[in-house]
Structure 1
């Protein structure tokens, strides 16, 4: 560690107090560690024209914030996006291990500010070979970035911060602060500039609050489908435009196909990993700017490619949890949001908390088809149509959840045969092609498509309600789930099961 560089920034900090009221600020640290760094930047076109900071806590945090501000002031945005804790520490002449956290805090605050400023004010000259790649820190997105760069693209990485909750397991959540830091470190190790978009408010409002409301209403929503359709892709495509990127690439297993009417989402080569169901709500108009580099590859092939490329995440396990349920579980998450409301919070948290539904009856009945009370439960939101395990009811034959009455907190159970149906009502449907093009429907993420017919020959466009007739009985059709409408392996519409 060079005392001269460190002391220079400590005694003569660069930009301290400047832009204190600026609109694009990022903060890192807090009471838990005793240090807090706040960095603000201003962008014009493709360059950072000014930067400032405020910091409290140890001297290392203040010196690191000063060094970060000096590094980025006047720099091109995409060069600033390459900076991390290593560069901040180097600008201070190196840091002892005990002070290394200060450089990490400064880098985190800087990148929060850069992401906010880029999303609002950046105007880079369009470049046909520039590709924005969504990076989660996992192997799929890393390989997508690697393939884009290997193909000659000028790659910029972006990671979305969607959820932050101390109760969650941040290491298992794909969009937590820990995951964002890991994705940034990976992008920098690959030599890529990296930006972070903080979408926590939009995600809470559009996805999490809806998840809670839907369960309270007795339905089983698909938060990932909603997130992709209403939050993630819209914001990333907007950022791509500001960065002058011709396309957005992701690590999803999906294809883009075309017919005479334009592009459509289509199934990937790896049927076991196909994610078209999760992407079903994407507007086909956006598909012209999307690129799925993994479309023709299987998961084992992707991992092998990552190993050959020397990517450190080649053997990283996949996350199996919804990002906001990691380490908590659905039941615990929903119960924590019923009953007493959380303490008043500031900013986005306060607005989101106010929109959460109030508690329902804490206990209800489990009844048979004949109305006989078989047992009691602690909330209908703990159950899903088609569920067999965990009912807590003794019976001579296996019982399944057949339906739920949220208003009465009643769960009706019965034999498996009672689950089957050949008709499905749809809500909020969007047809990308006329209804007579629909050949099959996928009613759950991992389900096999079932041949069907859309009644009434509806034309392409939005429809408040539609009716499906299935070619064969299907069990466990759950209200609130997504219905992905198919023509062959192409997505020609989507809706919510009513």
Structure 2
């Protein structure tokens, strides 16, 4: 039989496999559209550890229709983890090879397939037998998560990869975001290049509802939210640990710079060995049940060593720069994002700490406590945002000394250990912990309100930010800053009468 490239492609065109099958299945992925005009939809059904059935629909060029058929032939009846290894090259090879102008069809078909597998995984369809040597690795496409996967392979684990699609913003730069469609494809290609099966979980709806909406509402209320802590605590890790359960993985490994410790009451997050890279703060809301499944391979390493490992392993991302922005802000500014997504902007006055009007602003969301640049007012000394008054619509500014705080009120608190064990608090991601105690020595558990007494004045305590409660280098609690008070004003000594 002639197996020239054109005959294989024509075979799939004249006798398409599974075209129109599973057209109503929710376990589907779609890829394509503008600018090429080709669209491919792949649907799968998963029975425990295998793809029991698959189907496709396609419109556009002949190569797109053939690629959809080829994917169905590749995965129908295959083990789920083998289907999760299918690459665009495998699709092209199944068609006998594709010319450069037709190669996009293989890319679209593979992308649609992995969307379908991800939908099935999220809905709980897979049920793989558990294995103590199986590790699911969260891969963003960067060097840290790639090295985490490499180290798991080096220790003999059976490794699978997962990437979360959290956000898609045409106005942003997908190449700079760790969770955009572009980033997902890059992470998948990296995982496949390492020989790993890869699953994409589309959590855009959850991320919008739980993280972005809260971010917008917080800024509208004059707060400075921390979306990364919220995302990790409510969206990312719950979904990935649930996937690990379905795929029979004993552990979830990530590229975070943090460590774990365990006492008689269970696991806790501990700061990384490299203080410059430490990410314990953004993991502070992870529950003990989640921590019990986690592994942080980079916790004892410094960043230069991580890059050395990546170079030695010839990972293509060894020199990739780090992302600095919030994932959903990539390629755009915070104020621009807030404007485009409808954050409530209320113009008002800029006043000093005595209430004197110094100028006007176009919205409190453009300011954060501690900000110095871009205030739009001038004075004889540097001015900082001291606080925001949402009721009056005012931004209050003053000298740096007016930022000092020694009492912090927090809400939505969770103490993993009794409050008496707290000896310091971290009030911003990039700040250092400061000595602190919790008033009243509350018991472990949830608390609507707590008061922190700081051992030294802290400048720029912003309502809405996270307070990470520490015992040494270990996270023992977490809360959200509600309000803060300056140090008490010293009372002048009473004048003693002069003896005559």
Q: TM-score, normalised by structure 1?
A: 0.95
Q: What pairs up with 1:374-413 in 2 under 5 angstroms?
A: 374-413=358-397
SS of the aligned residue for 1:495 comes to strand
In 1, Cα distance between equivalents of 2:418 and 2:17? 61
- Which residue number corresponds to residue 307 of structure 2? 303
Q: What pairs up with 1:95-494 in 2 under 5 angstroms?
A: 95-119=98-122, 120-338=124-342, 359-361=344-346, 363-494=347-478
Contact 2:51–2:76 (Cα < 8 Å) also in 1: yes
- Which residue number corresponds to residue 91 of structure 1? 94
Which one of the candidate residues 3, 6, 18 is aligned to 2:9?
6
SS of the aligned residue for 2:232 comes to helix
- How far 1:457 sits from its partner (Å)? 1.1
Tell which deviates more after alignment, 169-178 or 4-13.
4-13
Contact 2:271–2:279 (Cα < 8 Å) also in 1: yes
- How far 1:13 sits from its partner (Å)? 1.0
> How big is each residue's C-alpha offset from its partner over 1:124-176, in whole Å with a ceiling of 9 and x where there is no partner?
00011000000000000000000001001000000000001111100000000
In 1, Cα distance between equivalents of 2:449 and 2:161? 39
Contact 2:345–2:362 (Cα < 8 Å) also in 1: no
In 2, Cα distance between equivalents of 1:452 and 1:38? 56
- Which residue number corresponds to residue 347 of structure 1? none
- How far 1:383 sits from its partner (Å)? 0.3
Structure-2 change in CA distance of 1:408 and 1:30 (3 Å): farther
- How far 1:58 sits from its partner (Å)? 1.0
Structure 1's unaligned 5+ residue stretches are: 339-356
Q: CA RMSD in A?
A: 0.9
- How far 1:336 sits from its partner (Å)? 1.0
- Which residue number corresponds to residue 354 of structure 1? none
Contact 1:265–1:284 (Cα < 8 Å) also in 2: no
In 2, Cα distance between equivalents of 1:174 and 1:249? 17
- Which residue number corresponds to residue 41 of structure 1? 44
- Which residue number corresponds to residue 57 of structure 1? 60
In 1, Cα distance between equivalents of 2:393 and 2:51? 56
> How big is each residue's C-alpha offset from its partner over 1:294-348, in whole Å with a ceiling of 9 and x where there is no partner?
011000000000000010000000000111101111110001122xxxxxxxxxx
Contact 2:345–2:364 (Cα < 8 Å) also in 1: no
In 2, Cα distance between equivalents of 1:332 and 1:4? 53
> How big is each residue's C-alpha offset from its partner over 1:50-92, in whole Å with a ceiling of 9 and x where there is no partner?
0011111111111111101110000000000000100000000
SS of the aligned residue for 2:460 comes to coil
Could you list the structure 1 runs, at least 4 aligned residues long, displaced by more than 4 angstroms after superposition.
none
SS of the aligned residue for 1:277 comes to helix
- How far 1:409 sits from its partner (Å)? 2.2
- How far 1:285 sits from its partner (Å)? 2.1
In 2, Cα distance between equivalents of 1:360 and 1:446? 28
SS of the aligned residue for 2:395 comes to strand
What is the aligned residue count?
Answer: 478
> How big is each residue's C-alpha offset from its partner over 1:75-115, in whole Å with a ceiling of 9 and x where there is no partner?
00000000010000000000000111110000000000001
- How far 1:360 sits from its partner (Å)? 3.9
> How big is each residue's C-alpha offset from its partner over 1:180-215, in whole Å with a ceiling of 9 and x where there is no partner?
000000000001110100000000100000000000
- How far 1:27 sits from its partner (Å)? 0.6
SS of the aligned residue for 1:38 comes to strand
Q: Which has the larger radius of gyration?
A: 2
Q: TM-score, normalised by structure 2?
A: 0.95
Contact 2:256–2:279 (Cα < 8 Å) also in 1: yes
